[in-house]
Amino acid sequence: MIAFAAGGGLLLAGASLTALLRYRRRQFRQRRPGRTIGSTPPELVHVERALLEAGSVGSADVTWLDQALRALVQALARFDGARLPDVVAVCMTDDVLTLVLTEPALEAPEPWTVEPAGTRWSIRRDDPLTYDEQQRAYFFAPFPMLASVGYTAEGEHWLVDLERVATLSLSGDVERCLNLARFLAAELAHNTWSEMLQVTLVGFGQELAQINPDRLTYTDDVEKAIAVIDSQLESVTEAMHIADVDVLSGRLRDVGGDAWAPHVLLIAPDVAKDDAGLERLMAAIQQQRGRGAVALVLIDDPDLGDAARWQLTVDEAGVLSVPALGLELIPQQVPADEAAQLAELLALAAVTGDRPMPPAHGDKPWDEHADACGGLRVDPSRAARLRPSGAAGADDVPVSGLADTSPCLTNSVLPLSEQTYLDRAATTEQDLQALAPATDAGIRHQVEAADPALDADLADWADPSCPRPKLTLLGPVEVRAQGTLPERNPRRQFYTEIVAYLATRPGSVTSERYATAI
């Protein structure tokens, strides 16, 4: 994907990967026993691969930005009279995070440093943050509408606080402007430095509608979208008047709760729109002296674009001009087809569902009797005949279960009767059938014959003096082998990853595939 591969979309990649992993964890938690989650469709595998590659780098930046901003809130909230800086833009490099303010603020909590003019606060990546994860839920995100607009060849990534700008126009090359607007929407849809954020796309971006319906909405009804934003602005204005606070103070002191929920409206060119309604909305937004928890982004609107507070232009050469900051940047871009693929990948992961566990794909004799997770595969119809309704199950046999060779005796890995588990545990007959299938002596002998060295392998595993290398995959990944390697060896985790990667691919891999993965 160009948005990730080009090197500018690391925050989008990091936020999207974080969402993907969160969805996948939820799918695993909610899948039924003995089943697995759906696999990525072949046509989206390249998207997932690009997301994993770029997101693994971008996730660190996402975490740093998120925790730095939340640590700032937590630090300032401890002091009476302290105020959040009025941020309008953010610059990130590999080492430094800089907040650009609209007005000077000379006092910043440690470890932030303030430039002499007071309009820039900076923090270095290796500075110790005072962020407390346990306090996260007690404070609102301070600048929820921060969104990436562009980057420089030297590695500066620039974000603009759309809420502070309030009204922004994108003009120039229409397709590039739309690609930038899609990027803004896609990043806002999953960033971790926001809460209660709503993004509405009007007349474009329908391909993004499924990326996160809880945050992002597509509509072609511009009048309705304007009415929603107008109502939101009135509500925020009333809340500020009643509580006698501004938006930033309300978030910092938790005054007014969700009254400061932000909403950004992005309107495409050539959409049938009510210019009078837009003019009234722009006038109402710009009458606010500070923040109104709403933002309006107009794309290629020659009639109203000049009235926006900030005008950004993207020329045919692909240069983004931000006059208010004196910057020329490489614009962030997500074409419609790439946006659709990203949205589809995340939407599929967000859907809870499962499928039968596939058979083992190895070439060992025992793979014939195992599924991909190592569970015993038994024909369901045969298992049903072996375990009739109300059967006593394993209480009739020794605890070892498989020790009896009677051809008509039901064997199970469960030490108690099936009915005991049904009566006392939160389980069903289908769960038991999947996790502890009933077997007979014939199946038992087939499994034993397929792995005659199993008992010896288990003995070696439990023998600490055995020189055979051992790899633990359940729980913390660990390698035990001959020789010694200091616990703090910086390469220890890397070596462990290599061993785990190769051991879980019994069919071997090519050097090219290994290099790509590791």
Confidence of residue 367 (pLDDT cuts 50, 70, 90): confident
Q: Which one has a higher pLDDT value, 51 or 364?
A: 51
pLDDT one-digit tens code per residue, 384-416: 555 554 444 433 333 333 333 344 445 677 888
Do residues 274 and 141 both lie within one domain?
Answer: yes
* Count of other CB atoms within 10 angstroms of residue 447: 18
User: What is the spatial distance between Cα 408 and Cα 387, in angstroms, rounded to a whole number?
Assistant: 10
Q: Give the list of residues 6+ apart from residue 108 with CB closer than 8 angstroms, or none.
A: 85, 114, 121
Residue 268, φ and ψ in degrees, nearest 5: -80, 160
Q: Does one domain contain both 110 and 187?
A: yes
252 and 186, same domain (yes or no): yes
For residue 205, the enclosing domain spans 2-350
Q: Are 198 and 188 in contact (CB under 8 A)?
A: no
Please report the DSSP string for 405-422 in residue order: --TT--B-S-SS-HHHHH
Lowest model confidence (mean pLDDT) among 109-113, 162-166, 404-408: 404-408
Last residue in a domain, options 305, 327, 350? 350
Same domain? For 297 and 396 the reply is no
Same domain? 95 vs 152: yes
Buried residues in 452-479 as b, exposed as e (16+ CB within 10 A): eeeeeeeeeeeeeeeeeeeeeeeeeeeb
User: Would you list the DSSP string of 206-270?
Assistant: GGGTTS-TTTEEEES-HHHHHHHHHHHHHHHHHHHHHHT--HHHHHHHT-SGGGG--EEEEE-TT
* 463 inside domain: no
Mean pLDDT (whole number) for 337-353: 94
Kindly state the average pLDDT of the residues 58-79: 96
Average pLDDT rounded to a whole number, residues 89-94: 97
pLDDT at position 312: 98
Collect all residues with Cβ–Cβ distance below 8 Å to 122 and sequence separation of at least 6.
96, 97, 98, 99, 112, 113, 114, 115
Q: What is the radius of gyration, based on Cα positions, of the chain?
A: 29
pLDDT category, 33, cuts 50, 70, 90? confident
Whether residue 432 sits in one domain with residue 475: no
% of the chain exceeding 90 in pLDDT: 62
Position 368 in a domain: yes
Of 15, 14, 130, which is closest to residue 79 (Cα–Cα)?
130
The mean per-residue pLDDT over the stretch 195-207 comes to 96
For range 199-227, the mean pLDDT: 95
Structure tokens at 126: 């290796």
| 421 is a domain residue | yes
Mean pLDDT score of the chain: 88
Q: How many domains does the chain have?
A: 3
Shared domain check, 340 and 191: yes
What angle (nearest 5°) sits at the alpha carbon of residue 460, between those of residues 458 and 462? 70
pLDDT at 433 over 60: yes
CA 186 to chain centre: 12
Contacts of 139 (CB under 8 A, 6+ apart): 70, 73, 74, 77, 251, 252, 254
Identify whether residues 345 and 402 lie together within a single domain. Answer: no
**Can you tell me which residue has the tokens 């107008």?**
230
Task: Write down the number of H helices and E strands in the chain.
Answer: 16, 18
* pLDDT (0 to 100) of residue 252: 94
pLDDT of residue 391: 45
Joined together, the tokens standing for residue 377 give 């595969």
**Does 464 map to a domain?**
no
Query: CA triplet 235, 237, 242: central angle to 5 degrees?
Result: 95
75 half-sphere exposure, CB direction, 13 A CA radius: 18
Q: What is the predicted pLDDT for the residue at 395?
A: 39
Of residues 225 and 491, more confidence is placed in: 225
Residue 430 is assigned to a structural domain of this protein: yes
In a domain, 88, yes or no: yes
- Report if residue 506 sits inside a domain: yes
376 & 304 share domain: no
Please give the helix or strand (H or E) that residue 441 lies within, else none: helix 441-450
Structural domain contains residue 461: no
pLDDT at res. 111: 95
Nearest-5° angle of CA 488, CA 489, CA 493? 95
Q: What is the CATH number of the domain that holds 98?
A: 3.40.50
Query: Of 403, 420, 450, at which residue does a domain stop?
Result: 450
Provide the pLDDT for residue 124.
97
Q: Are both 397 and 495 inside the same structural domain?
A: no
Among 393, 417, 450, residue at a domain's last position: 450
Same domain, 24 and 85: yes
Given a contact cutoff of 8 angstroms between Cβ atoms, the answer to whether 105 and 96 are in contact is no
Q: How far apart are CA 47 and CA 1, in angstroms?
A: 6
Q: Looking at 92-101, 188-197, 267-276, which range is the least confident one?
A: 267-276
Percent of the chain with pLDDT over 70: 91
Residues 425 and 280 in one domain: no
Q: Is the predicted pLDDT of residue 188 greater than 60, yes or no? A: yes
Identify whether 109 is preceded by a cis peptide bond (ω within 30 of 0). no
The label of the residue with tokens 């948005």 reads 3
Residues 6+ apart with CB under 8 A from 296: 166, 167, 168, 229, 264, 265, 267, 278, 281, 282, 285, 308
Name all contacts of 499-507 with Cβ < 8 Å and 24+ positions apart.
499/469, 499/471, 500/471, 500/473, 503/471, 504/473, 506/362, 506/363, 506/364, 507/362, 507/363
